[in-house]
Chain A
Amino acid sequence: DSGVTQTPKHLITATGQRVTLRCSPRSGDLSVYWYQQSLDQGLQFLIHYYNGEERAKGNILERFSAQQFPDLHSELNLSSLELGDSALYFCASSPGTGGGEQYFGPGTRLTVT
């Protein structure tokens, strides 16, 4: 158990809908990262938040947004969903921004039908 929690574990929704994925980092970690793992691809970095502020963006679509709240939990919002958005979404956390290990949650499997 990494100490990172993600909810829900599974999510099935229709095209055009909007969903919110939630992540709670390990106790004491200030950084939260979101990654997407599609069927035929490795893990792709989406976005990084540190202590409530956005620090880096990767290949995140404009239809996707994220935020980190004062209690350090984070939410990833996916809107106008398309079939291609079906993937595993992982959240990871780390203590700071100085590099090093990131600890991953169990992921949310999103299926868009």
Chain B
Amino acid sequence: DQQVKQNSPSLSVQEGRISILNCDYTNSMFDYFLWYKKYPAEGPTFLISISSIKDKNEDGRFTVFLNKSAKHLSLHIVPSQPGDSAVYFCAASAGLGGGNKLTFGTGTQLKVEL
């Protein structure tokens, strides 16, 4: 049972434009959501997170939006840069009750083209 879903395995965007990566979840106990970026042969790198009490969190070029009623979150990258090309994972946790384990989506490969 895939509780966190990233339905787009890949996304291609032109440099300078907006990249929008999407993530859906099914477990209503999730209360904290994170985005990680992963380059080949490296571990995931934390990008940005959002608590379920918020609907938006911004950090520089990265903004995460959370729509709890739709059980949907998205990551916006503006403007996109070639160095952003990587696999992006959405993750969720259920706080103390969930043991703080992260449940990951299967990832979206972002390619930013010149």
Instruction: Indicate the member of A2, A94, A99 with the most B CB atoms within 10 Å.
Output: A99
- Please tell me if the beta carbons of A58 and B46 are within 8 angstroms of each other in the complex: no
- Please tell me if the beta carbons of A43 and B89 are within 8 angstroms of each other in the complex: yes
- Please tell me if the beta carbons of A4 and B100 are within 8 angstroms of each other in the complex: no
Against A, the Cβ 8 Å flags (1 = close, 0 = not) of B78-100 are: 00000000000101010110111
How far is it, in angstroms, between the C-alpha of A35 and the C-alpha of B101 when the chains are bound?
A: 9
How far is it, in angstroms, between the C-alpha of A104 and the C-alpha of B102 when the chains are bound?
A: 12
- Please tell me if the beta carbons of A102 and B102 are within 8 angstroms of each other in the complex: yes
A45/B101 contact (C-beta < 8 A), A99-B32, A99-B96, A100-B32 known: yes
Flag whether A28 is at the interface (Cβ < 8 A).
Answer: no
Segment of B11-19, B55-63, B104-112 engaged in the interface with chain A: B104-112
How far is it, in angstroms, between the C-alpha of A42 and the C-alpha of B107 when the chains are bound?
A: 7
Flag whether B103 is at the interface (Cβ < 8 A).
Answer: yes
Choose among B34, B96, B105 the residue that contacts A97 (Cβ–Cβ < 8 A). B96
How far is it, in angstroms, between the C-alpha of A40 and the C-alpha of B100 when the chains are bound?
A: 24
**Size range of the interface on A?**
20 to 34
- Please tell me if the beta carbons of B102 and A43 are within 8 angstroms of each other in the complex: yes
Against A, the Cβ 8 Å flags (1 = close, 0 = not) of B21-47 are: 000000000011010100001111110
- Please tell me if the beta carbons of B101 and A58 are within 8 angstroms of each other in the complex: yes
Flag whether B74 is at the interface (Cβ < 8 A).
Answer: no
How far is it, in angstroms, between the C-alpha of A80 and the C-alpha of B43 when the chains are bound?
A: 26
Flag whether A25 is at the interface (Cβ < 8 A).
Answer: no
Flag whether A101 is at the interface (Cβ < 8 A).
Answer: yes
In this complex, what residue of B is CB-closest to A45? Answer: B101
- Interface, chain A (partner B; CB < 8 A): 2, 4, 6, 31, 33, 35, 41-45, 48, 55-56, 58, 90, 92, 94, 97-107
- Interface, chain B (partner A; CB < 8 A): 31-32, 34, 36, 41-46, 49, 89, 91, 93, 95-96, 98-107
Which 8 A-B residue pairings sit nearest by Cβ, starting from the closest? A56-B99, A104-B43, A45-B101, A42-B106, A43-B104, A42-B104, A104-B44, A99-B95
